[in-house]
Amino acid sequence: MKVVKYVFQAHGDDRGQLVALEEFRDIPFRIKRVYYMYETGENVVRGHHAHKSLKQILICIHGSCKIRLDNGREKKVIPLEKPYEGLYVSNTVWREMYDFSPDAVLMVLASELYDESDYIRDYDQFLAFVREHGEQEDSDDAESPELKKMQKST
């Protein structure tokens, strides 16, 4: 499974750091929604689902956490611990977020508005969906030449 992680440009000066994210320039889709999670309890595992069409970028803007990605054939664990790194998570990937540090803030940029009917919450249904529709994790969007420059191989 190919993991796409972006390293965003930080504009640092003697005052500190600033990261700016623009759709289609830094993020491979139109950003329709932003949400974030914080004060996640110790030993909590969030997620446990995939999506039919939603694409997202996960950025741990404070603290750290781990993301387990599963495309139905292979699983990978990606630590997120830098506020200038973003993990691209395509729709047809089962995801779990865990091992949050007490100060972790996980921010998510999403390609669609919130829609419960887009969730696949049953693992067997997820496997059937991938069999029927194929994997879309290596989407052309995420692989555009502009964005490729920012990709870090993991």
Among 7, 23, 114, 144, binds ligand T46 (CB under 6 A): 114
In the complex, the smallest distance separating the C-beta of residue 18 from ligand T46, rounded to whole angstroms, is 25
In the complex, the smallest distance separating the C-beta of residue 65 from ligand T46, rounded to whole angstroms, is 10
Distances (CA, A) of 15 to 7, 110, 117, 122, 151: 21, 30, 44, 47, 27
59 beta partners: 107
Query: In terms of CB distance, is 33 or 62 closer to ligand T46?
Result: 33
For residue 140, the number of C-alpha atoms closer than 13 Å in the C-beta half-sphere is 0
The SS3 of residue 133 is: helix
* 49: annotated active-site residue: yes
Active site residues: 49
Binding site for ligand T46 (CB under 6 A): 33, 35, 37, 46-47, 56, 95, 97, 108, 114
